Amino acid sequence: MAGHRRKSSISCSPCSALYLHVPFCLQKCPYCSFFSLAGKNHLQPLYVNAISMQIRQTAANHGEKFCRLKTIFFGGGTPTLLPAETLARLLDDCLAAFPVASDRELEISIEANPATVDKNDLAMLRRAGFNRISIGVQSFIDRELALLGRPHTAADARQTLKDARRAGFTNINLDLMYGLPGQKVADWQHNLEQALALAPEHLSLYELTVEENTPFAEQVRRGSLRLPPEDDVLAMLEMTQILVRQAGFRRYEISNYARSGFQCRHNINYWQNRPYIGLGPGAVSCIDNTHYTATKDIEQFAEHITAGKPIWEDEEHLTKEERFRETVIMGLRMIAGVSIPGLRRRFGIDPVAYYGATLDRLIEQGLLRHDNDHLRLSKRGLLLADTVMAELV
């Protein structure tokens, strides 16, 4: 099959995951630190032509690094700022260029924001082959949406989910944020209950993190933006565990909850630190123990793709130990934790011996658990995950 046209000179796991980055946004949210471009829609034709070319080049030049793709993910930015016809064509390009798993095994996700997609778009995306949609709701309270710079209303978000369901999507995720400035516990309960009433298959529930070099960071620095007290945020999280469990969801990652069988397989590939190919400006690929980051300049990206020149603005080559530590850190985000025998097989390193006294101390402090041949965060460790990760990096 195409994924085995020639043998790689480097022993590594083949890729089964493909990510395509669409960097365009209606407007830049004040909390967002991801690479995205607002007000640059005039660059869309240049971007689309370059991406189509990159898909073909990647398949031709790196086909040996692929097994059959099991997940394809269109993320952003806001992918649905591109016309649905264009997104369908780009997906067709991917499906034609790369070997893929059967329809039953293949997860094809797209991120969508309510202000950028309608029922006709959703129907076209579903017909094109997208079978999972992640809707960026963030809140069901209009004043919170205004604070977050979101261009949609709570009513828009509800309508988008209903339209997606009518279009035939049976795997729907909702993104929500808690710990927002001025947010009360009752506000978060309202948001969560609204989400659960819509009966999605998956929930991504993120605590607001104020990232450097964002408008929110500057407002916090000036004292004009105040986050909820820590006790309130903990109460929001505790209530979350109760409500989602009662609704039939299982927490499988720090911020992600799913009904049985609807865990996001694309993201699990990330958390297990398996290889993946990233397409598009600013996208990251992880392959052959190396992280490659593409240039964020769309015009330069298109110029280099057209000329067949490298597009990487950064390459980070990892040693076996660095890759091992990265796998431990990412794997601990999963509620199941990381398999100790699996780490031994994959890297030839025993994490218990490798971390030694550090691991013993984290277990004694009640932050980590070592049971059933797995290392996993405890309930307390989940609340202090960043602290634990810093000890193991």
Are the beta carbons of 226 and 205 closer than 8 angstroms?
Answer: no
pLDDT given for residue 1 in this prediction: 27
Query: Could you tell me which residues are beta bridge partners of residue 312?
Result: 294
CATH code of the domain occupying 320-392: 1.10.10.920
pLDDT score of 5: 28
In this prediction, the residues of the chain whose per-residue pLDDT falls under 50 are 1-11
**Per-residue pLDDT at 130:** 98
Q: Could you give the CA distance from residue 368 to residue 94 in angstroms, rounded to a whole number?
A: 41
Predicted local distance difference test score (pLDDT) of residue 6:
28
Task: Tell me the C-alpha distance between 163 and 166, whole Å.
Answer: 5
Q: Using alpha carbons only, how large is the chain's radius of gyration in Å? A: 21
What is residue 3's predicted lDDT score, i.e. its pLDDT?
31
Would you give the end-to-end CA distance of the chain in angstroms?
38
Q: Domain residues of the chain, as ranges?
A: 2-271, 320-392
Residue keyed to tokens 């996993």: 376
What is the pLDDT at residue 225? Answer: 87
Angle between helical axes of 154-166 and 119-128 (0-180°, round to 10): 40
Beta bridge pairs of residue 368:
377
pLDDT at 50: 97
Q: Greatest CA separation found in the chain?
A: 59
Predicted pLDDT of residue 217: 83
pTM of the model: 0.93
- The pLDDT, as a whole number, for residue 8 is 31
Out of 3.80.30.20, 3.40.190.10, 3.40.50.150, 3.40.50.720, the CATH code matching 2-271 is 3.80.30.20
Contact 247, 199 (CB under 8 A): no
pLDDT of residue 13: 66
Query: Can you tell me the distance from the alpha carbon of 164 to that of 223, in angstroms, rounded to the nearest whole number?
Result: 40
